[in-house]
């Protein structure tokens, strides 16, 4: 694996440069009448008839023999029984949720550690979701389970199981007994709604919900938190917390850690601002901190991660750092803060996890993982916690460390999982143990690896599970390159291609991106991409100069554009609201760099994105059509004039702006693809896909965009809407395989043929 320009530092540009507007003067034409509002009736008979007609047309185009082979190959990956069954530890058991060909809706199950270590663990099936769906006549989708903490010495038994009737975000929460393997007769059973559930005690739940007449926010989420006693309905429950209607959502939850039992409420004002409250003597006490500083509580500690620079008594803590304070002292007014991590231009904090005695930090350095172990019990002379680099992260890989069970009173309390993956490296699961180096008496060759630093921590770790190989990874090479965006910012991207790649501009190339909500795109193994894209071969099409070209495979590219979290909050904030075009300029810069390097050409280059990534590629379609031969646009935002009135759109104002504020609509309209379509433009071939049951973005914007493009006479515009599956577009492996196959097959047909 190689990295180009790895010694140079990409720096987010956060100055006051004027953001670029749309690339064509006509883009600022008056807003047309919306002729497709009728399609906003999601479940209307006429509207669904239009959807079925579109689906039939698209399926006739795409679902040929080659498509069937691609779909079968992807489904084989998704249904493989050799995949790693990831587990979470509760008490003495290890829990897993599993889908395969025989169980498309899945099995919730558990096993022991000794059994898990074997090649074929003995699983105790707790809930068969397929059987439940058949018995109840509802297409249930499992969304997890939350256990009631048992009394000391008892095993975990009662859980609130979350089930979606259609794969959307609204869940029904039902009390389940893992010993009897049944739902508790007369137990807690909450109606389907958006919200959350937390155990307060064996007979009480803390609930945020929009069911039974409880109010919703403008964003469609819960506005109220209630204390629900056993036997009560939500309408009868005591309301204990509420927020203004125009805030995003309310949440109430209980931390049942022994000795640190606390009840919290959070007012999520928007995606990046929140107020956190602690219940003391039946009164809410606010944790005083700016709303853009994220808070996390763990036993004696409060951790803070500011989204912007945070000034505390004249000391500035930079955006993206991690700061700690003693919990009780901070609430009492002390502002003695301890810096645990400070970002730099190359390195950002992605997540953290506590074991019993240590804090694991998951970092990215130029979008490659780095893990540090902090020791609260070993402070340095300046008071900061001792820090040890965990030697477990190969270059250009994503490796995440998190605790196995920090409350285990035995040796497992300082155990951690390592999940490692790369574009050409099947995922591995490793289990490690952290101990002070003075307890280290030498490495046991049977224990796997041992990492240590003088005066630091020792990590003994050994591989537990390895995912199978689904394509011939050794034939491919991963490279990291940097493109230069319009304002001079250097933007990293990963390129996965055959080692014999010919740089003649003729390689079918799929460019993927996201660029929003501080979400990072990191290296990840995908057997589906390997089979559906990298290993597919062209038929030896002729090159543009008439010479016969050799058969070649696909090139897969992931762009780490601004708006994401690869370089922390500054990288994200650089593309917020009026600066949104920076994300699109970054993506276009990567496209140009691929073309200028000879990897591909406009004819051979396609892009794909979903959700906010659908908005991204929608802007590639409308603002940069000269760069792409095809666009695959999934579950997208596209009508930015009405997005706040559709599904959960109001909750994203902090990311995009409010179109009902005239001054903000002036910049929002410049990245609203639905309003940037114009006659006389040669648009790329376009595939727009969505799901009827998506209650987050919703199917409406995709429908309207396809309808407008087709009415304009734009050729090669295709639409498909899954009738179930939620925002993911798929509720089981069969649906997921079909979705991935359609997108990949569309792009391959568009980009790999001769012309």
Which residues are part of the catalytic machinery? 611, 727
| Through-space distance between the first and last CA atoms of the chain, rounded to whole angstroms | 33
What number of other Cβ atoms are within 10 A of residue 508's Cβ? Answer: 27
* Cβ contacts of 587 within 8 Å, gap of 6 or more: 511, 513, 515, 559, 561, 607, 616, 620
Cα(608)–Cα(737) distance, integer angstroms: 16
Contact, 28 vs 22, CB < 8 A? yes
Cα(694)–Cα(37) distance, integer angstroms: 18
- For 41, 269, 673, 700, 702, the CA distances from 640, given in Å and listed in that order, are 18, 21, 8, 12, 12
Long-range contacts at 651-654 (CB < 8 A, ≥ 24 apart):
651/217, 651/219, 651/220, 651/221, 651/248, 651/249, 651/270, 651/271, 652/271, 653/270, 654/270, 654/271, 654/272, 654/273, 654/576
Contact, 74 vs 737, CB < 8 A? yes
Tell me the residue ranges of DSSP E strands in 103-188.
Answer: 107-111, 124-128, 141-147, 158-164, 171-177, 182-183
HEC-encoded secondary structure of 254-286: EECCCCCCEEEEEEEEECCEEEEEEEECCEEEE
- Pinpoint the alpha helices (H) of 13-89: 45-62, 65-79
Contact, 616 vs 583, CB < 8 A? yes
The token duo for 154 is 């008892």
Nearest to 528 by CA among 68, 64, 79, 73: 73
What number of other Cβ atoms are within 10 A of residue 394's Cβ? Answer: 13
Give, in degrees to the nearest 5, the angle at Cα 254 between 252 and 257. 160
- For 341, 361, 669, the CA distances from 373, given in Å and listed in that order, are 11, 6, 46
What number of other Cβ atoms are within 10 A of residue 474's Cβ? Answer: 9
């Amino acid at each position: 694996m190689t990295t180009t320009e790895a010694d140079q530092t990409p720096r987010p540009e956060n100055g006051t440069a004027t953001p670029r507007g749309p690339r064509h003067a006509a883009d600022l034409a008056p807003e047309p009448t919306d002729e497709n509002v009728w399609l906003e009736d999601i479940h209307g008979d006429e509207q669904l008839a239009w959807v079925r007609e579109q689906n039939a047309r698209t399926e006739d185009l795409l679902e040929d023999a080659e498509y069937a082979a691609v779909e079968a190959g992807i489904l084989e990956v998704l249904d493989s029984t050799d995949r790693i069954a990831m587990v979470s530890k509760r008490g003495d058991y290890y829990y897993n949720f599993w889908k395969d060909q025989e169980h498309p809706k899945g099995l919730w199950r558990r096993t022991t550690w000794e059994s898990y270590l074997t090649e074929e663990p003995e699983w105790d099936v707790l809930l068969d979701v397929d059987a439940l769906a058949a018995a109840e006549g509802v297409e249930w989708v499992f969304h997890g389970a939350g256990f009631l903490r048992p009394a000391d010495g008892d095993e975990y038994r009662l859980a609130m199981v979350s089930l979606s009737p259609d794969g959307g975000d609204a869940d029904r929460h039902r009390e389940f007994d893992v010993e009897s393997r049944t739902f508790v007769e007369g137990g807690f059973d909450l109606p389907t709604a958006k919200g959350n559930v937390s155990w307060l005690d064996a007979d009480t739940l803390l609930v945020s919900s929009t069911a039974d007449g409880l109010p919703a926010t403008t964003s469609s989420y819960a506005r109220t938190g209630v204390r629900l006693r056993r036997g009560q309905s939500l309408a009868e429950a005591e309301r204990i917390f509420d927020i203004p209607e125009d805030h995003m959502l309310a949440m109430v939850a209980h931390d049942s850690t022994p000795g640190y039992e606390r009840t919290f409420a959070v007012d999520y004002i928007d995606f990046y601002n929140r107020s956190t409250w602690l219940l003391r003597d039946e009164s809410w006490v606010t944790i005083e901190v700016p709303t853009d500083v994220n808070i996390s509580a763990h036993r004696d500690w409060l951790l803070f991660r500011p989204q912007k620079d945070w000034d505390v008594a004249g000391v500035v803590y930079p955006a993206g750092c991690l700061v700690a304070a003693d919990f009780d002292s901070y609430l009492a007014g002390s502002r003695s803060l301890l810096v645990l991590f400070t970002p730099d231009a190359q390195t950002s904090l992605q997540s953290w996890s506590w074991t019993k005695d240590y804090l694991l930090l998951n970092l990215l350095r130029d979008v490659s993982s780095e893990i540090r172990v902090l020791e609260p019990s070993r402070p340095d002379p300046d008071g900061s916690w001792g820090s040890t680099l965990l030697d477990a992260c190969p270059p250009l890989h994503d490796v995440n460390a998190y605790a196995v069970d920090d409350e285990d009173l035995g040796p497992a309390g300082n155990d951690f999982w390592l999940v490692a993956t790369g574009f050409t490296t099947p995922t591995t699961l490793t289990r490690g143990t952290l101990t002070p180096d003075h307890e280290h008496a030498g490495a046991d060759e049977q224990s796997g690896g041992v990492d240590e630093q003088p005066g630091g921590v020792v990590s003994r770790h050994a591989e537990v599970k390895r995912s199978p190989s689904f394509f011939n990874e050794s034939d491919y090479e991963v490279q990291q390159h940097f493109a230069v965006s319009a304002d001079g910012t250097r933007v990293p991207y990963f390129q996965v291609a055959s080692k014999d790649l010919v740089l003649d501009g003729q390689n079918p190339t799929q460019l993927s991106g996201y660029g929003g909500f501080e979400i990072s795109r990191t290296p990840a193994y995908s057997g589906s991409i390997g089979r559906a894209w990298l290993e597919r071969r062209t038929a030896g099409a002729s090159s543009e100069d008439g010479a016969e070209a050799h058969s070649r495979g696909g090139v897969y590219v992931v762009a780490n554009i601004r708006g994401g979290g690869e370089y922390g909050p500054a990288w994200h904030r650089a593309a917020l609201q009026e600066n949104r075009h920076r994300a699109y300029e970054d993506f276009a810069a990567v496209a140009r760099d691929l073309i200028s390097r000879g990897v591909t050409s406009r004819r051979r280059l396609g892009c794909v994105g979903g959700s906010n990534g659908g908005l991204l590629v929608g802007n590639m379609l409308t603002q940069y059509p000269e760069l792409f031969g095809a666009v695959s646009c999934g579950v997208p935002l596209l009508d930015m004039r009405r997005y706040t009135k559709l599904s959960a759109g109001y909750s994203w104002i902090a990311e995009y702006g409010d179109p009902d504020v005239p001054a903000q609509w002036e910049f929002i309209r410049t990245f609203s693809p639905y309003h940037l379509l114009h006659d006389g433009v040669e648009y790329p071939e376009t595939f727009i896909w969505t799901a009827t049951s998506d209650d987050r973005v919703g199917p409406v914007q995709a429908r309207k965009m396809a309808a407008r493009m087709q009415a304009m006479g734009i050729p090669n515009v295709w639409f498909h809407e899954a009738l179930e599956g939620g925002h993911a577009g798929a509720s089981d492996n069969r649906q997921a395989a079909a979705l991935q196959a359609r997108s990949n097959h569309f792009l391959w047909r568009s980009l790999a043929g001769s012309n």
